[in-house]
Structure 1
Amino acid sequence: MKWILILLTALLPLVSLGQAADEPNPKPNPTPEKKAPDPADTYFQAWSLSRDAEKLRKEGVADEAQEKMVRALKLFRTVQKQWPEWRKEMVKGRLVQTEEILKEWGWKEDEVI
């Protein structure tokens, strides 16, 4: 009787391994869902671009500075359009400031970069 208990104890792990092998492969983790855009993230990206643009301008890299500032302007406009009530005055202020800087740099609204 004792030898049956020892045999069953030895075989039990093998039986459970066989059951695990019969199970289908587990599904890989699904790709995470894309997070909806956030006005704060978009605003920060625009603000960061405008700071980079001002630094580039001071370093004499005018074309790249203007390109970044225009991208910042577009992002500020996106925030204003998609989230019109989100920090309305702050967004409006940055829009005005960004447009004024671009005008000082000689940029015209109809220019495509």
Structure 2
Amino acid sequence: MKHFHMLLAVLTLIIFVCQALPIWMGKTAKRSAMITGASHLIYTLLMLTGLWLFWQLYQVAGVQHWAIAKLVLLVVAVSATIKALRNQAVQPSQAKAGMMIAAVGYVGILYLAMAKPLLG
């Protein structure tokens, strides 16, 4: 399950980069139905596998605050991406800011996944 979760995380980052690059370059990102559907499926599977792995970790080691922080950062990154994609034509500067917020969220997730610091 861990390897599948990691694969989904890589796919999430690839989809994010494909959506963010046009916005950062000042172009309007095309929102194809295939990319939208794939991102919904990947986000859902990523959340389900992450919650499953969190449950397994909780059974062995109790509450791990870094895992909860990863979940919060994922919600922030996904919501910032959605907001940026919806407002890219009307407010390009806010779309760029939203994608930067999402990028910071994803970097934070990667840091927490590798370091697993004691936060509590």
Question: Normalising by the residue count of structure 2, what TM-score does the alignment of the two structures yield?
Answer: 0.43
The structure showing larger relative contact order (alpha-carbon pairs under 8 Å, at least 6 residues apart) is 2
Question: Normalising by the residue count of structure 1, what TM-score does the alignment of the two structures yield?
Answer: 0.45
**Higher normalized helix content (fraction of residues):** 2
